Amino acid sequence: MLAKRGLMVLAFGLLLGVLGQNAPDPWRIQRGGQLYDHWIKAKGVEAPAGDHPLWALQNTNTRKGTDTWRCKECHGWDYLGKDGAYGSGSHFTGFAGVLQVRDKSLEEILALLKGSKNPKHDFTPYLSQEDLEDLALFLKYGTWDPRTAVDYKAKKPLKANPDLSQGRSIYRVCASCHGEDGKNINFGTEEAPEYVGTLAKDNPQEILHKIRIGQPGNFVMPGFSFLSLDQMQDLLAYLQTLPSK
């Protein structure tokens, strides 16, 4: 456990060096990204009753309850909403993405999270001021456009070292938890297992978000936002060679 905590310190120390001393706190950016992923799990709280109030505006995504409260379920792992990977399929809602809010001030983003544009988008009953600030920091400084790294149709990295050596080298850190074959952790069920290799093949946008931000509710899964675009593509390419069953 101490070694894994040390990994987190190293990861954020490197990220702080990349961003510069006057940059926003990278710990808070990562936490905001985990809130975006699953704020209920990140905070360790009960899900609000019923569906999110805005969920009734669409009828294409049939999920109910907790899933409807996750930012990613409306706006996508790629932050592009209807214009990204969630532009079709069972996750489609027709809701817009959030990538464009990077051009707004933190105050403007906070106001949106508090329902300034639509009162039904007010998260103040569920998220503290600190939570909302962390989420705003992520939306402004932590999002990016995965289309610069992924061929959406092929679900493959656009550019990766063909011999996989770079991705394999980076994965050595991940293997301490996920195992050499990526099967130490099952995200699914015994009947329908999902390993890191499964997700890398099926949902590269989600994998890239987790690589950068970490896993909500799991202290030992740090984010590695300091990885370059080339390194993320190399790692994704290697993950896609790992077993999916």
pLDDT beyond 90 at 185? yes
- The residue-averaged pLDDT of 18-22 equals 50
CB atoms near residue 210 (< 10 Å): 22
As a CATH number, domain 148-239 is: 1.10.760.10
Helices and strands, number each (H, E), in the chain: 9, 2
Q: How far apart are CA 242 and CA 237, in angstroms?
A: 10
Q: Could you give phi then psi for residue 78, rounded to 5 degrees? A: -100, 5
Question: Does residue 83 carry a pLDDT above 50?
Answer: yes
d(CA 35, CA 123): 12
Nearest to 208 by CA among 142, 161, 154, 164: 142
User: What are the structural domain ranges in the chain?
Assistant: 2-143, 148-239
Burial class (CB in 10 A: 0-12, 13-18, 19+), 241: middle
Give the closest residue to 29 by CA, choosing from 48, 11, 47, 53.
11
- What the block records as the tokens of 125 is 């009953």
Measured CA to CA, the distance from residue 136 to residue 115 in angstroms comes to 13
User: What pLDDT, on a 0 to 100 scale, did the predictor assign at position 222?
Assistant: 84
What is the per-residue pLDDT for 221? Answer: 85
- Burial of 172 (C-beta count, 10 Å sphere; 0-12/13-18/19+): exposed
Q: Is the model's pTM score more than 0.75?
A: yes
Q: DSSP secondary structure string, 186-216?
A: -SS-SSS---HHHHHHH-HHHHHHHHHH--T
Mean pLDDT of the chain: 91
Q: Is 18's pLDDT higher than 90?
A: no
Q: What is the mean pLDDT of residues 70-90?
A: 98
Identify the pLDDT of residue 16.
45
Q: Which two tokens stand for residue 59?
A: 């009828």
**What is the Cα gyration radius of the chain?**
18
User: Rounded mean pLDDT of 18-23?
Assistant: 53
pLDDT higher than 80, residue 214: yes
The mean per-residue pLDDT over the stretch 187-198 comes to 94
Lowest mean pLDDT across 10-19, 27-36, 189-198: 10-19
* Residues in the chain, overall count: 245
Q: How far apart are CA 33 and CA 31, in angstroms?
A: 5
Contact (Cβ atoms closer than 8 angstroms) between residue 159 and residue 150: no
81 strand-pairing partners: 96
Residue 82's Cβ-side half-sphere holds a number of Cα atoms within 13 Å equal to 7
